[in-house]
């Protein structure tokens, strides 16, 4: 793997170091124009299911269980995961999210999932 995985709020400034920018939410970030967010891809289907997102409700006390459930969902989203892994072969990928909490959100969980797959060698053929 060549690139690094970053996470960034949709409301943060775009940087040339962001590389390939992927919005991972099912919902468009409120108050952000398409030109300002400068996305390369909106990968809605990699986001947590509506049921999981609503259950979590951004409650840090549910973080561990949310992360586990989301990882199980990601195991079934091989095409979407492979899309990001392919982009990592050519440079950095920034996962864009809109949640207020910078530590407990789907982008952080997805980053950890992808890094775990890379370190275990499970995604070498993606």
| 8 A C-beta contact, residue 43 and residue 24 | yes
Average pLDDT over residues 40-47: 96
DSSP 6: E
- Range of weakest confidence among 26-40, 76-90, 110-124: 110-124
Q: Is the pLDDT of residue 125 over 70?
A: no
Residues in a beta bridge with 93: 5, 20
Confidence (pLDDT) at 120: 79
* Cβ–Cβ under 8 Å, residues 91 and 3: yes
Please check the confidence at residue 124 and state whether its pLDDT lies above 60.
Answer: no
* Mean pLDDT along residues 17-32: 94
Report whether 51 contacts 68 (CB < 8 A): no
pTM above the 0.85 mark?
Answer: yes
Is the pLDDT assigned to residue 57 strictly greater than 60?
Answer: yes
Please state, for a pLDDT cut of 90, what percent of the chain lies above it. Answer: 81
Q: Can you tell me the mean pLDDT for 70-89?
A: 96
DSSP H or E run through 85: helix 78-88
Average pLDDT over residues 43-61: 96
Q: What is the mean pLDDT of the chain?
A: 92
Q: Is the CB of residue 48 less than 8 Å from the CB of residue 27?
A: no
């Amino acid at each position: 793997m060549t690139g690094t995985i970053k996470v960034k709020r949709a409301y943060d400034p775009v940087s040339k170091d962001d590389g390939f920018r992927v919005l991972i939410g099912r919902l468009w970030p409120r108050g952000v124009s398409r030109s300002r967010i400068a996305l390369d891809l909106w990968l809605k289907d990699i986001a947590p299911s509506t049921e999981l997102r609503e259950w979590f409700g951004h409650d840090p006390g549910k973080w561990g269980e949310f992360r586990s459930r989301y990882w199980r969902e990601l195991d079934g989203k091989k095409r979407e995961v492979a899309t990001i892994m392919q982009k990592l072969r050519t440079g950095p990928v920034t996962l864009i999210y809109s949640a207020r909490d910078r530590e407990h959100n789907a982008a952080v969980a997805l980053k950890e999932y992808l890094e775990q797959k890379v370190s275990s060698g499970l995604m070498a053929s993606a």
